[in-house]
Amino acid sequence: MSAVLGTAAVALGLAAAVLGMATLALGLRRDNPDMLRAGQRYVWLVLAGAVLATFAMQYALLSHDFSLTYVADNGSRSTPILYTVTTMWSALEGSILLWALVLAGYLAVMARHFRNRASDPIVAWATLVAFGVAAFFFALMAGPANPFRVVAGAIPLDGPGPNPLLQNHPLVAFHPPMLYLGYVGFTIPFAFALAALITGRLGEGWLVETRRWTLFAWGFLTVGIVLGAWWSYEVLGWGGYWAWDPVENASFLPWLTATAYVHSVMVQERRAMLRVWNLSLLVATFSLTILGTFLTRSGVLDSVHAFTESPIGPAILGFFAVVVAVSIALIGWRGDKLRSPGSIDAPVSREGAFLANNVAFAAFAFVVLLGTVFPLIVEAVNGDQLSVGAPYFNRMTAPIGFTLLFLMAVAPALPWRKASAETLHHRLLWPAWAGVLTVVVCVASGLRGLGPLLAFGLAAFAAAAALRQLALSVRAARRGGSPVWRALMGRSNGGMVVHLGVVILAVGFAASSSYGHRAQFRLAPGESAGLAGHTVTYLDTATVEKSNKKTTSARVRVDGGKVYAPALHQFPFGSQAIGSPSVRTGPFSDVYLTLIVPPDAGGVAVIGVNVQPLVAWLWTGGAVMGFGTFLAAWPGRRRRRAAPEPAAPGRPAPVPEPATVAS
């Protein structure tokens, strides 16, 4: 039943996407508003296809329908229900289904949002492009990545379950969907960018239309990446959260270009500059999400030659090439129309700072991209299997990170056009003093190391600058009789809250990566060991056997207080024991415990202990960034629902009411 329903749902989604494209293309060619409106309605069929396919997959997983290859390969009767649900995104075919579901959801929201402008050519073209992306992913499911393929031969009675690492922590229920909400969300601004290029309406209108979409996608991606780091910290047991591995880099690359775009788009909105650059950033962001999917799903990370054998590698690479080629061709075609009417009047200005910020983000993205694809290129050229180590990424990105922190402090204080020395002095004096004072206090407290001290100083500088901006807004809100919380709403103020989140995260990153302590202790029951001012006492070990795993957990008391239980899990189909750390999280330091070697006959166990300062600041910073994004995207009290007249085909619709777009 699941196979039939799922296959039919995928066929429905694919057919609806293709028919939607055809109807819209015909409507645009014939200037027929009725056809354009009809084309939009296919969105609901695409959504129905994706929802039904997801329902079929979840039903198959939960009912242990091992007649489906996907369930036979990744499901198990002994897997707990939460991880049975998350099995949908634990392997290739299911994750493509999740992608299609999220994309269909975005398409539906887009269709509803622009329902009064369905006949506007820019909306029609954007929908057509989004249909094209949806058609690609449904086609993958209909062909090489079919999640509803039926088992050939005898139906197994049970399966191995998902990868043990993906059934070890509830964060797996949130991290991938959040990441996909970010990845896929960039389809909408990308579709509008292409629509603007195709229609030639290259003013700032389409930016305004997509601003909130971009912010939400960026916010989800940010939270998704932070959740991924948290998952890595809580599950993998190596005591860190970021290792520059290709999967992490794949999610980080579009974040970098999207962050550059979120800043540079303000320059275009305010000064009508950087049009080509902004289009290029959007195209780069969307392309990098596709490249990331290729890297993580094609098998290319195992071997550059493996992807040709993977079911979807060549298809995704081909799609990536089409996206890049079409986008570059369109930008080249519209080159003359993309010339900006304005230019930068002075380098020391807000637009100058945003440009510098964009150069820094672009350099950051280039460094990460080069490091990530270099081993692939070398292997493709001469067959050598190389690895680019973490030191490359750390050494190359650290100066860029410092530059970005500095710009984060300075840019909000700079006026547009040109900054005078007097303005700089007035706006940056006390934030700069905050930075200097922070460094002095840190040094006086005994902290050493150029990198972390510079990071703390610049972070304090940036935090003070952001707080100053927020304080000004609060004061203005009070003066105007508005509630204080209103002062935090809107792009600029929400952006300052995001900056505060980045500062918190940067401080956590600098401290935890510079001042951590790590040791392994062989302890008999009752024995204690000390590290960085903390005492761990090994009490005993217990083994619990459940249907899905055998768990050996040590009981370890930290600083004479609460008892923690680092464990090793042995899954029935896993050859390796999977470690599960236990962490005492505190606002100032974490004590991270791992059971490295279970007790021997004499009861002696090897316990790994990491003491790292300010790790919790990373997760707090991520949450503040997410909250800030929400504030920045919040419509605000001035939003008024404009009821724009539907445009006749071939003519642009009026831009929504300014109050709507401004907030």
Partner 1 sequence: MSVSSRDELEEERDFLLASLRDLERERENGELSERDYQALHADYTARAATVLRALERGPAKPATGRKPERDIRTKRPLVVTLGVVLLVAAMAGGAVATFAGQRGAGAPMTGSLPDSPSGKMQQALELEAQGKAADALKIYDELLKTDPRNVQALAYRAWLLKRAGLPDLAVTALDQAISIDPRFPDAHFFKGMVLYQDRADPAGAVTEFRLFLSNDPPQEMIPLVEDVLRRAMADAGMPAG
Site for partner 1 in 483-512 (CB under 8 A): 487, 490, 492-493
Residue 480 CB contacts under 8 Å (≥ 6 apart), including other chains: none
Instruction: Give me the sign of the Cα torsion angle 158, 144, 147, 162.
Output: positive
- Residue 560 CB, shortest distance to partner 1, in Å, is 27
Q: According to the binding rule CB under 8 A, does residue 193 interact with partner 1?
A: no
Q: How far apart are CA 182 and CA 213, in angstroms?
A: 10
Nearer to partner 1, 108 or 373 (CB): 373
The long-range contacts involving 599-606, CB below 8 angstroms and separated by at least 24 positions, are 599/525, 599/541, 599/554, 602/524, 603/524, 603/525, 603/540, 603/541, 604/522, 604/523, 604/524, 605/522, 605/523, 605/538, 605/541, 605/554, 606/520, 606/521, 606/522, 606/523
Kindly state the number of chain residues that form the binding site for partner 1, as judged by CB under 8 A. Answer: 97
Nearer to partner 1, 98 or 273 (CB): 273
Q: According to the binding rule CB under 8 A, does residue 48 interact with partner 1?
A: no
N-to-C CA span, the chain: 49
Tokens of 502: 């980045």
| 201, 263, 275, 549: residue in contact with partner 1 (rule CB under 8 A) | 201
Listed ranges 431-439, 527-535, 556-564, 599-607: which one lies at the site for partner 1 (CB under 8 A): 599-607
Site for partner 1 in 410-449 (CB under 8 A): 415-417, 423
Q: According to the binding rule CB under 8 A, does residue 381 interact with partner 1?
A: no
Residue 441 CB contacts under 8 Å (≥ 6 apart), including other chains: none
Instruction: Give me the sign of the Cα torsion angle 231, 285, 621, 101.
Output: negative
Nearer to partner 1, 355 or 432 (CB): 355
Q: According to the binding rule CB under 8 A, does residue 243 interact with partner 1?
A: yes
- Residue 276 CB, shortest distance to partner 1, in Å, is 11
Site for partner 1 in 608-637 (CB under 8 A): none
- Residue 480 CB, shortest distance to partner 1, in Å, is 6
- Residue 181 CB, shortest distance to partner 1, in Å, is 25
Nearer to partner 1, 42 or 231 (CB): 231
Q: According to the binding rule CB under 8 A, does residue 585 interact with partner 1?
A: no
Nearer to partner 1, 394 or 585 (CB): 394
Nearer to partner 1, 46 or 265 (CB): 265
Query: Which of 157, 160, 53 has its CA nearest to residue 96?
Result: 53
Nearer to partner 1, 436 or 476 (CB): 476
Nearer to partner 1, 153 or 391 (CB): 391
Site for partner 1 in 396-415 (CB under 8 A): 396, 415
Q: According to the binding rule CB under 8 A, does residue 652 interact with partner 1?
A: yes
- What's CA 579's distance to the chain center, in Å? 26
Is the Cβ–Cβ distance between 611 and 559 less than 8 Å?
no
Taking residues 464 to 483 in sequence order and writing x for each that binds partner 1 by CB under 8 A, - otherwise, the string is -----x--xxxxxx--x---
Nearer to partner 1, 95 or 493 (CB): 493
Nearer to partner 1, 28 or 184 (CB): 28
- Residue 501 CB, shortest distance to partner 1, in Å, is 19
Residue 88 CB contacts under 8 Å (≥ 6 apart), including other chains: 54, 57, 58, 61, 94, 95, 97, 98
SS3 222: helix
Q: How far apart are CA 565 and CA 574, in angstroms?
A: 22
| 391, 446, 561, 587: residue in contact with partner 1 (rule CB under 8 A) | 391
Residue 18 CB contacts under 8 Å (≥ 6 apart), including other chains: 131, 135
Site for partner 1 in 269-298 (CB under 8 A): 269-270, 272
- Residue 384 CB, shortest distance to partner 1, in Å, is 7
- Residue 174 CB, shortest distance to partner 1, in Å, is 23
Site for partner 1 in 526-545 (CB under 8 A): none
Nearer to partner 1, 386 or 443 (CB): 386
Question: What is the DSSP secondary structure assignment for residue 150, as one 8-state letter?
Answer: B
Identify the H or E element spanning 613: strand 605-613
Burial of 392 (0-12, 13-18, 19+ CB in 10 A): middle
The answer for 268, left when phi > 0, alpha when psi is -120 to 50, beta otherwise, is alpha
Q: How far apart are CA 652 and CA 649, in angstroms?
A: 8
Burial of 142 (0-12, 13-18, 19+ CB in 10 A): middle
Taking residues 330 to 369 in sequence order and writing x for each that binds partner 1 by CB under 8 A, - otherwise, the string is -------x---x-xx--x-------x---x--xx--xx--
